[in-house]
Structure 1
């Protein structure tokens, strides 16, 4: 992890220097921080009609099957070669860039930690449905020596081109363990469809590179979607759940904690046509005493944090201010938190904090799949 962090920092510094040289020339005394949306600077996006994506299940050929009991009794005649998901991942060929390796994970609860390394590219998980195919773990930071947030993930992916559909990934470590990640991705051009990510603090770690989440359900209560990827979440259900430690007391909860560290980084979180509310258990607590349950769309984990919500439905669980600070005024002058076309009881434009923004209509297209993560080049398109 230290090696990866150092590489990211060196690359970021180099990129910042190249951009500064390009803008200001060789006299370093003239160099200034590059402008961002906060300064009124916008990239020139493509203005093509947005496409509809479709997970390519019907075009995928299953390579191996994982069965919890080691055999299939559903009449499909599929040969179950493995009992553990990690065994199937280990069987995938290394550094194959022109073919998907498709793993069908049959219905069952798989209590294991799954690691997909750099060399295992284009791995695909096909489950039997959310709540049916479940990969579960319980690693957490607080009381497990040597475990960092990065290492705590139940499933983590480094190999590019990862895809998954129809399964649940969860981390059952609750409040006493603090950071406890269900899913962590460093997979470029990764697509996750119709999956569940269940946890409490730091549920989904979109760590780096380009990621796309479609029709997923994500639950948590503290910074539960975080990282420094360029990630788009489309048609997703984002739900607050109760804290396991004294849930009646409520407190301040943030849905996102995006971690962009430099203004030249093309990273950020984009939520399109999503719904933000609470689980049934959380809503019962919220309705009983709404004043102590304060929930926000995000807070700036890093100085140039960038998150936008576009055409999203927001329940009354979202506080009127919309966004919360991290520590004092850290990042409040450099972040970009934008909203456009949102609706519901949690969307109160006039009461939003002054350091958030209403995204101008003419710049909404900058956050499309095509423009923000170049999705027209790699996300499968619907035939409809």
Structure 2
């Protein structure tokens, strides 16, 4: 869309026009005027709905005090604009809120923080536990969703809950199609971002651009098609000595019928952890038809990545049975050897952000 509307067409001057008789205009009922405002009436039978912006501020200076209350009040296509502040709440955007935009009002993701601290093993009031997906601070199910300029975090810490063994604590559960996350921050430890396809063979695509993500164990995981483009990723140090085990970046469980799972491209991965303590990924294998797919390409890798063998098995399922590849990576954690499968130049042309996201409808949010 251009920055400004095109100018109206020029009008030619016509001299000595004969005055036209005035038309009689029927008066509208007051209710009709109130319904349509001062603009032109919509055609008969057409919807007069216009996308609205719902404003949120924790101090009460906006329409809503909580993010969830603004989401609940929104219709499909609306915008939820969140003022600077910290919002301790769990949020959920259901499938019916198609086309919703959630944005931080300042444009700086550090200013707007949505935070909570549930883990998979945290007990609900009824005594049951949340489970991995249920631990999420934010669950996004609506298609055509945009989230920009916000931080979503899960602050649950293993050290504060030694009695809980289910330590997955999700920040974002993304489980809709054609979802875009730009200029955001997603922070947790284990299982930070869940990229989920409610139907394992269905079309669920999520695009992360120019954002920050941190975690330590399997913190990008799931069976959806997800692209991380120009993202800053931090491998959080759990204190392992050099050569020990701090964790794993990714754990895809892509269905074997899907060509595309996860792509990390044009990104920077950093860490303060000791050398050779992080694996790039392992193939989550909860079902027989799960064969994880992940490409990391054109990305800077830190010394914390295991240089000799950056991929590892998941339980008894071997990483060599998964679909893991690299291409043109750089940095102290990058090299080429027998344990680091590389795409060929020809293959690399088929594993780009645009190819991953095109699907059956040609969707292209890249750029």
Q: TM-score range by the shorter chain?
A: 0.7 to 0.9
Residue 130 of structure 1 deviates from its aligned partner by 1.7
* Among candidates 58, 62, 74, match of residue 68 of structure 1: 58
Partner Cα distance (1:216, 1:123) in 2 = 19
Q: How big is each residue's C-alpha offset from its partner over 1:240-297, in whole Å with a ceiling of 9 and x where there is no partner?
A: 1133xxx356624110000113x2124410011011111xxxx1x52xxx4xx61011
Change (3 A) 1:239 1:123: same
Tell whether 2:261 aligns with 1:268.
yes
- Of 205-214 and 139-148, deviating more is 139-148
3-state SS of paired residue (2:55)? strand
Q: Secondary structure at the match of 1:233?
A: strand
Aligned to 2:217: 222
1:175-186 alignment runs, 5 A limit:
175=158, 176=161, 178-186=167-175
Where structure 1 has 5 or more consecutive residues not aligned to the other structure, the ranges are 1-53, 72-79
- TM-score, normalised to structure 1, is 0.72
Match runs of 1:293-304 below 5 Å = 294-302=277-285, 303-304=290-291
3-state secondary structure, aligned to 1:88: helix
SS at match of 2:217: coil
Does residue 82 in structure 1 map to residue 61 in structure 2?
A: no
Check whether the contact 1:228–1:267 (CA below 8 A) recurs between aligned residues: no
What is the CA–CA distance in structure 2 between the aligned matches of 1:345 and 1:364, rounded to whole Å? 22
Runs of 5+ consecutive residues of structure 2 not aligned to the other structure? 6-49, 198-203
Task: Verify the 8 A CA contact 2:103 2:150 in the aligned structure 1.
Answer: yes
> Structure 1 residues 339 and 248, CA, compared in 2 at 3 Å: closer, same or farther?
closer
Residues 1-384 of structure 1 aligned to structure 2 (within 5 Å): 63-71=53-61, 80-93=62-75, 96=76, 100-127=77-104, 128=106, 129-144=108-123, 145-175=128-158, 176=161, 178-208=167-197, 209-243=204-238, 247=239, 251-261=245-255, 263-278=256-271, 283=272, 286=274, 290=275, 294-302=277-285, 303-320=290-307, 321-328=309-316, 330-350=317-337, 353=339, 356-374=340-358, 377-380=362-365
Residues 55 and 81 of structure 2 are in contact (CA less than 8 Å); yes or no, is this contact kept in structure 1?
yes
The answer to whether the 8 Å contact 2:196/2:222 transfers is: yes
The structure whose Rg is larger is: 2
Q: Is the 8 A contact 2:266 2:298 kept in 1?
A: yes
In the aligned structure 1, how far is the partner of 2:51 from the partner of 2:230?
27
When you count helix as a share of all residues, which structure comes out higher?
Answer: 1
Q: Take 2:366 and 2:4, find their aligned partners in 1: how far apart are those partners?
A: 13
8 A Cα contact 1:230 1:266, kept in partner: no
Distance 1:333 1:251 in 2: 20
Query: What displacement does 1:379 show?
Result: 3.8
Post-superposition CA distance 1:55-111 (Å, at most 9, x none): x9999976111111111xxxxxxxx11010000110112xx4xxx311111110000
Q: 1:333 to 1:310 in 2, by over 3 A?
A: closer
Structure with higher RCO (Cα < 8 A, 6+ apart): 1
> 2:226 is paired with a residue of what secondary structure?
strand
Give SS of 1:251's match.
Answer: coil
Q: What is the match of residue 76 of structure 1?
A: none
Contact 1:304 1:331 in 2 (8 A): no
Q: Give the alignment's TM-score, normalised by structure 2.
A: 0.76
Q: Distance in 1 between matches of 2:311 and 2:99?
A: 36
1:165 shift after superposition: 0.9
Cα 1:62–1:349 shift into 2, 3 Å: farther
